[in-house]
Amino acid sequence: MERIWIAIGSNFGKPLKQVNTALSELAKLPKTRFLACSSYYRSRPLGLQNQPDFLNAVAVLDTALTPEILLNYIQAIELKQGRVRKANRFGPRTLDLDILLFGMRTIVTPRLTIPHYDIYNREFFLYPLKELSPNLQFPNGVMLSYYLTQVPYNNLTYWNEDLSITTHIPIR
């Protein structure tokens, strides 16, 4: 089995319900053991700004599935929750599941890039990863702690259903 990290995001429909459902579905994957999920975070959208904030989290699992088979399963989970893939990949979505890391593998195929192509620059990936694996070393040999010094938290907050209340994450 290999350790994998999957990013979860939603900002359309009922994000909290959709993320919780996705976590439940991830826990049912064959040849896979669900280990943990980070706290839920609220982040600003990338690209198109005229859309709601995202609910983000990262889950860590152990799996015996191949990366491509895992991708098939997570895309089926997305579709089941109404995910529509559009030309503008930074638009709102009901559910977005991304394989961030698959063990220490580096994979580049037409369907799959691991580590995630922008993992080192996104606070909503890095801070949840820190929560789950504070001593994480990436396949490029660089420690997570280094990237956390390079990437601002960009007003990343803990998710709270009452939008008037946010808990700011300390900078470092």
DSSP, residue by residue, 106-119:
-EE-SS-EES-TTG
Is residue 89 scored above 70 in pLDDT? no
Which of the four pLDDT bands, split at 50, 70 and 90, describes residue 148? very high
The predicted structure's pLDDT at residue 161: 62
- How many angstroms separate the CA atoms of 77 and 95, rounded? 9
Residue 157 confidence (pLDDT) above 50: yes
Cβ–Cβ contacts within 10 Å for residue 23, how many? 16
Q: Which fold has domain 2-119?
A: Alpha-Beta Plaits (3.30.70)
Rounded to an integer, what is the distance from CA 138 to the centroid of its chain? Answer: 16
Q: What is the pLDDT of residue 171?
A: 39
75 pLDDT tier (thresholds 50, 70, 90): very high
- Residue 134: what residue type? P
**Nearest alpha carbon to residue 60 among 133, 156, 158:** 133
Question: Which residues, 6+ apart, have CB-to-CB distance to 23 below 8 Å?
Answer: 8, 34, 37, 57, 59
**Distance (Å, rounded) from C-alpha 69 to C-alpha 143?**
28
User: What's the CA gap between 47 and 85, in Å, rounded?
Assistant: 16
Residue 79 pLDDT = 87
pLDDT, mean over the chain: 88
Please list the active-site residues.
83, 93, 96, 98
- For 23-50, the pLDDT digits (tens) are 999 999 999 999 999 999 998 887 666 7
Rounded CA-CA distance 106/54 in Å is: 27
Position 49 scores a pLDDT of 65
Query: Can you name the residues that pair with 65 across neighbouring β-strands?
Result: none
Distance CA 69, CA 101 (A): 15
Under a CB-based contact definition with an 8 Å cutoff, are residues 23 and 97 in contact? Answer: no
Find the DSSP H helices in 38-159: 67-80, 123-132, 144-150
Each domain of the chain, given as residue ranges in start order, spans: 2-119
Instruction: Give the C-alpha separation, 89 to 141, whole Å.
Output: 29
